[in-house]
A and B are shown apart, each in its own frame.
Chain A
């Protein structure tokens, strides 16, 4: 029903419909530290004491219980305010104030009016409550920040006491926000939603709230510092904690270390180790849980098995007025009980789909009985009656291929028959349409459909398996020809072929792909032993180097979706025509209905394509390249060793050979981009594998390795550059969220995003909660952002370069103003300066570049991508005099530079609101928006850190307007 992270992030508490609260050790999932029993109703809310001493839970049993984290025993149970409450709410999310003084419950009653009870930490007194909501309070959430009143230029008499801010959401669809220093709510918003409020979350900076409702909508409210006050920094907050409770975050455990901020190299090492352990444990636990989950769930004290046994007896069946049967379903669980569904699934043998099956897409539906070859590939007894002379399927080779299939986790049972012998499928097609098309018998509103292709390739039912045995199949096909669709005529020669193909290893699958430009391909390094066996398939034997990448085996046929828009796919059929004993392979390409095809003399191992080129790698190390229209662009290229992976993006073709060398060519310009570069340097470790390969639009190859690192090859420097590291501690400590632009933050996509995966927020949480010294945090953030900028630059990804540069700039501006506020004077200024100077020059250097042209002469792609012009460089023309004449401090000047550079050279940015002199056009106008004097103060403040962040969501009453009492 609710989960909550402990303040030191090492524990996770969850509460459930089974009346318990479980404390999980987040460092070693799924270890359970404690199970808190005592509630006699559904536990619907949880909150941790900000200093980590207690955890409080509220349940349907009309009680709120506070538990000690020291011994996990009950500290107190508060029932009085809840005596009149009914279990009418979905959730009861209570909250503890960030200073720890108050605990505020959800739904409580006072004189038959719904309230949110305030419980004091000292003696758990319940003297106060938040009154005003007309229906039960579902959610209470304290702002993570502690505030203090804005000092008004010496006018305020006494130093005001810090206070907290609390948002209360209710079933009456309204939201109120309270400050603990005020008697009345700061703001109340009525009828914010159509249905009850379900949850509230504050942004980290404490100035925004996200509120979600049962009606499916989420509202975001934005406050200004004038309204809430000045948030205290994390240091001040922990100082308050320390002064009040002694040692803050009292529980120092081993676990805590792992999430603590890294202050020295030893700690980093320790953290790495722990992460590794954690990973190991996770994979182990995944296995455990899957087996554990098969225990049948228990509902209402009765096991599911019992329910099922008696279901038919229990089932209430009535007749409606028009004589139809009406069944009253048996309720097996109430709503919101999402937990035991897995157990439920597993207890019922619905889908016997096995782990290692390949699931076909909708386009090639498979029916088991048709797929006569599959049982064999999974190791069912090989039919001895079959002539296997041509296959060369030595038992050894067979096992090897099986092993390697497992190793690459590629379920290899691609059935060749599906794609190549449509005649066999046709009768089933008629059925397949029935699964998706609405029949006359069941009319319904026409709408979108979606399909699960759950073709399973092995069957457990004994008799069907029998049916599948080729021997049976052959017999039945000769005897009862038409009667059994299962046994559609399959000639002996065909079977032979199929068997042959199937015994040879099949790994490559044609699967629809989403992104045509950046096609992720996964492969892994195999042991040399396995590969020597495989090599038999290849005519030329190469000296086996230490490093070997897996190679695709020849398949009888496969298709490959190159892109979906325009729809383009490649079909390959090997050994399709036999002219006088010569076997030819056919390559067919279909682009938006237009088709071309060609034949090749040797078997095609793998194919790749883009909108510009199609290339295929054949046996005998041949690589053929065709234009998108089917013209052969080059005579076959002879590769140095057999192909492992082939890739196309735009006019770039990338070939990764089995000997782990990488080549990239631009086939249109006929130049080599990367020439037989070895992967040895990055695949140093023995157990390292390549998990993903990308080729960017600019022909930059990127290798994602299994250890979480990603390298791109920089053709101009001929170096492998590290562009991403999952274990990068910088990424985990960097906190630039306050500088994220509001909307496009998550929309930034490109090679870097693909390689790095979606921004993980895990570490930032830790950094925040651990009240890192601000300096450290700032430096790590800056370093991280610089890394990102550089990586985007190397990948020549203009969008991402822009995104990160923007973020970087925003961060600089934000931090600059914060420092001014902190009034730490010269020291702060100095601190800011040192990390800044280098990167900034680097950035502007890239943009200015030698040739005197401003807009990145070395980087034509930047222009290309953004469509901005050289005019951007005028900014520099304006700048240089300014730099010389006006430079006050180093920092100030450079910020001005940066600010000006955004709109110009990066293009497409919203202009800054604020004082802009209207008369002077272009960049000079922007100059004037910066005050001539000391820049850091008002000037920086005038720049919005996040343009557009204050935009209210449509339909959301703006807080200011709705302000007022109840």
Chain B
């Protein structure tokens, strides 16, 4: 069982100009004191085509983490425009918030981000070279995508073994299982998420 579950991520200052920093208020629950820090990262996907254009906007350690509920604000600078392919600067992309423990990623929260010109003139006649100072960033906060990964929460020795054991399994096609996820989302809408609860309606 995961020791840490993310309860909520609130996107602050949204929408905002392209160059303003990202700010997320993250609250999480830890059901057992953690020996080491959690590492949080914000990754900005520069282009859908390739991971080459991913930018790690910031990475931060969070700790110490005793059992209980915690929250913090994770602030990271805007992506470096020069690293973004020009064709992908305007439009929809993705920002990811990931958390790792002992180098193992256990949760990923992704948001769609729409970069667009707020002014109608620019929108209709966008400059050939994107004008980042004019761009507005809008994070689709209502639609987070949460992915959880099972990791080994215990000490490092165990983890190494676990990885060794799991590697072959990866090679021959890992069985993926969809588990219902608690946490993010209004409690009221969760039943709709779970396929087992769903009934076909006419």
Contacts and interface: CB of A to CB of B under 8 A. Distances in A.
Contact of B151 (A445, A475, A480): A445
B199 interface: yes
Interface in A596-631: 606
A428 B91 CA distance: 11
A743 B199 CA distance: 29
Interface string B146-178: 111111100000010011001101100011111
Contacts of A521: 199-202
Contacts of B180: 450
A454 B68 contact: no
Nearest to B75: A312
Given A351-B142, A440-B54, 4 more contacts: A359-B192, A448-B179, A461-B140, A508-B201
B31 interface: yes
Given A332-B27, A351-B184, A460-B142, A431 B200 contact: no
A409 B176 contact: no
Contacts of A508: 200-202
Contact of B177 (A290, A353, A450): A450
A326 interface: yes
Interface string A521-559: 111000000000000000000000000011110000000
A451 B45 contact: no
Given A438-B149, A520-B200, A355 B188 contact: yes
Interface stretch (A20-28, A51-59, A336-344): A336-344
Contacts of B51: 439-441
Contact of B145 (A439, A454, A523, A644): A454
At the interface, is chain A mostly helix, strand, loop or mixed?
Answer: loop
A349, A408, A445, A446: most-surrounded residue (chain B CB, <10 A): A445
B176 A449 contact: yes
Interface in A448-466: 448-456, 459-461, 463-464
Interface string B109-152: 01010101010000111100000000010101111111111111
Interface in A908-950: none
A785 B103 CA distance: 56
A357 B185 CA distance: 13
Contact of A511 (B54, B59, B174, B200): B200
The 4 nearest A-B residue pairs measured at CB: A352-B142, A444-B105, A329-B70, A430-B48
A369 B92 CA distance: 9
A345 B112 CA distance: 21
A485 interface: yes
B92 A428 contact: yes
A324 B60 contact: yes
Given A436-B147, A443-B105, A351 B189 contact: yes
A327 B118 contact: no
Contacts of B186: 345-346, 350-351, 353
A300 to B, nearest CB: 12
A41 interface: no
B78 interface: no
Given A428-B92, A507-B201, A523-B201, A467 B116 contact: yes
A427 B93 CA distance: 10
Contacts of B43: 439, 441-442
A311 interface: yes
Contacts of B56: 441
B184 A326 contact: no
A454 B184 contact: yes
A410 interface: yes
13 contacts: A324-B61, A331-B69, A334-B67, A351-B185, A359-B193, A362-B178, A436-B147, A445-B104, A452-B146, A460-B142, A463-B136, A519-B200, A692-B199
B82 interface: no
Nearest to B67: A335
Interface in A465-524: 467, 475-476, 479-480, 482-486, 507-509, 511-514, 519-523
A486 B93 CA distance: 11
Contacts of A326: 37, 60-63
Nearest to B93: A431
Interface residues of A, number: 107
Contacts of B77: none
Interface of A: 216, 290, 307-308, 311-312, 315, 320, 324-335, 337, 341-342, 344-346, 348-355, 357-359, 361-362, 367-369, 408-410, 427-428, 430-432, 434-436, 438-456, 459-461, 463-464, 467, 475-476, 479-480, 482-486, 507-509, 511-514, 519-523, 549-552, 606, 644-645, 692
A320 B61 CA distance: 9
B26 to A, nearest CB: 8
Contacts of B84: none
Contacts of B98: 441-442
Contacts of A447: 149-151, 166, 174
A355 B192 CA distance: 9
Contacts, number: 317
Contacts of A453: 145, 193
Given A431-B48, A447-B166, A328 B63 contact: yes
Contacts of B177: 448, 450
Contacts of A443: 103-105
Interface residues of B, number: 105
A346 B185 CA distance: 9
A350 B144 contact: yes
A329 B25 contact: no
Given A311-B73, A344-B7, A367-B92, A445 B152 contact: yes
Contacts of B94: 431, 434-435
B197 to A, nearest CB: 10
Nearest to B52: A440
A479 B147 CA distance: 37
A320 B7 CA distance: 26
Nearest to A456: B143
B142 A353 contact: yes
B123 A476 contact: yes
A872 B61 CA distance: 69
A484 B91 contact: yes
Contacts of A368: 112, 140, 143
A935 to B, nearest CB: 47
B126 to A, nearest CB: 6
Interface in B47-95: 48-49, 51, 54, 56, 58-75, 87, 90-94
Nearest to A367: B112
Contact of A463 (B9, B138, B181): B138
Given A311-B72, A443-B103, A552-B202, A512 B140 contact: no
A408 B202 contact: yes
B132 to A, nearest CB: 15
B193 A522 contact: no
Nearest to B48: A430
A388 to B, nearest CB: 26
A483 B179 contact: no
A324 B188 contact: no
B50 to A, nearest CB: 9
Contacts of B61: 320, 324-327
A212 to B, nearest CB: 14
A454 B48 contact: no
Nearest to B169: A446
B22 interface: no
A330 B92 contact: no
B20 to A, nearest CB: 14
A454 B186 CA distance: 11
Nearest to A510: B200
B11 to A, nearest CB: 8
Given A352-B141, A369-B114, A485-B91, A434 B45 contact: yes
B126 A480 contact: yes
A464 B69 contact: no
B118 A511 contact: no
A461 B15 contact: yes
A442 B60 contact: no
Nearest to A347: B8
A296 to B, nearest CB: 13
